[in-house]
Structure formats: C-alpha cells, structure tokens
Amino acid sequence: MKKPRHFLSLFDVSQKDLSELLAMAAMVKKKPGKFAHALDGKTLAMLFQKTSTRTRVSFEAGMTQLGGHAIFLDWRATNFTLGSIKDEMICLSRYVDAIMFRAYKNTDVVEAAEASTVPLINGLDNLWHPCQTLADLLTIKEKTVKPLQKTTVAFVGDGNNVCNSLIVGCAMLGVKVRVASPEGYGAYRKAVEFGEKKNCLKMFNAPSDAIEGADFVYTDTWISMGDEDKRMERLHAFRDYKVTAQLLGDRFFMHCLPAHAGEEVTREVLDSKNSIIYEQAENRLHAQKALLAWLLK
Ligand code: CP
Ligand code: NVA
C-alpha cells in the first residue's frame, strides 16, 4: 500500500512545498470562501496527550470551515491507554481521513505515523511543533518589510520544540535565526545541523548578542509541558533570559503562547504595540487549513 504523506516535522516537506503551503495559507486567509468545500465529507481525528487551546480549536474550526469534521480525542479517555499505538492507529485510520497527534514523546508520534494509513500531523511533541512554525512563517512574511533572506529572527530562551521547528522552517526559506540559550538548554542537534548547513543559524549565550540586528524577537515558556518537575532548576537556569521592553527595543515580539507573564516575558511586552502574538495565534487557523487541504488533496 502507498505510504500516506505525514507532517511530523518540517523535514517532511521540501522548500518548494513549504513556499507553496505558505502561499496557500495566505490565499485561505484572504479568500476563505474559495476553500469552503475543500474537505467536504472528510474527518480529522485529533488525539491529545497534553492540554491545548490553540491547536485544538484552530484544527477543529479549520475542518468545519473546509466542509469537514473533527473529532477530539483525549488520550486518557481512549483505549490507547490499554492497547498498542500500532493497533489503535490502524483502527483509527480506517474511520478518518487524517489524524493530528499531540504527544509527550516524539517516538510515540513516529510510531503512530508508521502505523497510520492516513496522513498524520504532529500537533507538538518534545522535539517539534511544525504547525506552529507554519503560522509563524506566515506571520513573519506578513510583517517583514524586507525580503525573507534579509530578515532575522532572534529566539531567546529554551531550545525547545518551538525553537527547533522555527530554526528548520526559517532556514528552509533563508530567514536568519540567532538563538540565545543557557548552557545545556540548546536546540536539538538535528535542527542546529540543518540551520548551520543552510548558513542561517548563529548560536549565542547572551540574549543581548542574539537580538543584534534582529527584526523579530521570539521566546517561549521555560517550562514546557512535561518539564513541570524541573520547574525550580529551570527558573534558575533561565533567570537572565527574560524578554523585557528594554531588550526588545523596536523589534516585533513573537510567542507561540501560552505565555507565563513575568517569567520568559513581561506583561508589558506581551501587551505592547510590537507584540504580534495574537496574529500568530490567528494564523494557526489559516496555515493549518492550507496544510489539511494540501495533505488531503
Ligand atoms: N501554541 C500552541 O500550540 O498553543 P496550545 O498549546 O494552546 O495548542
Ligand atoms: N514549548 C511549549 C509550547 C506550547 C505550545 C510546550 O511544549 O509546552
């Protein structure tokens, strides 16, 4: 049987695919009516091991707007808690046209994709958050006044799932990324290798170095879902990585949300005129509608 097209990380799409997806996302945003029947009669299963606001609602609303339907599955209320990922995924694939999965471990997402006979979308795991990056790139394209190859994003803080996907997505389009993280909290090796190979990534220790020449400053929580037991040591490790109004200057501010105001960023920055966090959140909807229509075409 032909393998379905999955979206587990940005490495699952080519540079051309990514550009096409973003152009399609911009079109979906501008003319949503054109896509109102794109997925008539199609069903998306959304399986969550972790909590979510944006991912869950943007995928579900997106499916409705495309003429399809989405089913929310809380992992704990399913028999994934009893059976194997393989058996449960094979069954799920026989009912629905696509599956979105938010998991603790990337290995669970990979195992699920191996078993699934329909496209599987990674809705965040410990290593990647590729759907977030689609929305982030759409937002960067909308806001930057420069060509993408001359645009720079600084990421300050934890080299986590959001940072890893951002590095890969930006590097694919030639956007420069400058990351500042404390020792021991750097980005995932595969993302770093790719960013460096594309000559798009520079790593720093100090936030003030990373933001030099940047057009956008991005941060994310210091305590990702699954890191809660390390809260105290993480608060200590990241204490000098807070994005303040002074650090930000006149750059755009980005955050995937949920934000922990007073930890990685001040409330002042979140509410400032430079903040484009709600545009990013809205763009999840448009970018994922394009992704769904593209994967299921
Ligand atoms: N940014 C993001 O993925 O938000 P949720 O965790 O609320 O889905
Ligand atoms: N890095 C965060 C992102 C939440 C959308 C986490 O994994 O919890």
The model's pTM is 0.98
Which residue's alpha carbon is at the smallest distance from atom 6 of ligand 2?
A: 224
CATH 3.40.50.1370 residue ranges in the chain? 10-129+284-295, 132-280
What CATH class has 132-280? alpha beta
280 lines ligand 1 (CB under 6 A): no
Q: 76-106: per-residue pLDDT in tens? A: 999 999 999 999 999 999 999 999 999 999 9
Ligand 1 centroid to Cα of residue 170, in Å, is 20
Q: Does the pLDDT value for residue 1 go beyond 80?
A: no
Q: Does the pLDDT value for residue 241 go beyond 90?
A: yes
78 lines ligand 1 (CB under 6 A): no
Q: Quote the pLDDT of residue 121.
A: 99
- C-alpha–C-alpha distance, residues 284 and 231, integer Å: 28
Which residue's alpha carbon is at the smallest distance from atom 1 of ligand 1?
A: 256
160 lines ligand 1 (CB under 6 A): no
| CATH no. of 10-129+284-295 | 3.40.50.1370
55 lines ligand 1 (CB under 6 A): yes
Q: 175-231: per-residue pLDDT in tens? A: 999 999 999 999 999 999 999 999 999 999 999 999 999 999 999 999 999 999 999
Which residue's alpha carbon is at the smallest distance from atom 6 of ligand 1?
A: 52
25 pLDDT band, cuts 50/70/90, is: very high
Ligand 1 centroid to Cα of residue 1, in Å, is 34
DSSP the chain: -PPP--BSSGGGS-HHHHHHHHHHHHHHHH-GGGGTTTTTT-EEEEEESS--SHHHHHHHHHHHHTT-EEEEEEGGGSGGGTS-HHHHHHHHHHH-SEEEEE-S-HHHHHHHHHH-SS-EEE---SS--HHHHHHHHHHHHHH-SS-GGG-EEEEES---HHHHHHHHHHHHHT-EEEEE--TT-PPPHHHHHHHHHTT-EEEESSHHHHTTT-SEEEE--SS-TT-GGGHHHHHHHTTT--B-HHHHTTSEEEE-S---BTTTB-HHHHTSTTB-HHHHHHHHHHHHHHHHHHHT-
221 lines ligand 2 (CB under 6 A): yes
Ligand 1 centroid to Cα of residue 2, in Å, is 32
Ligand 1 centroid to Cα of residue 122, in Å, is 12
Q: Quote the pLDDT of residue 293.
A: 98
Q: Quote the pLDDT of residue 2.
A: 80
Q: Which residues are catalytic?
A: 102, 129, 132, 220, 256, 284
55 lines ligand 2 (CB under 6 A): no
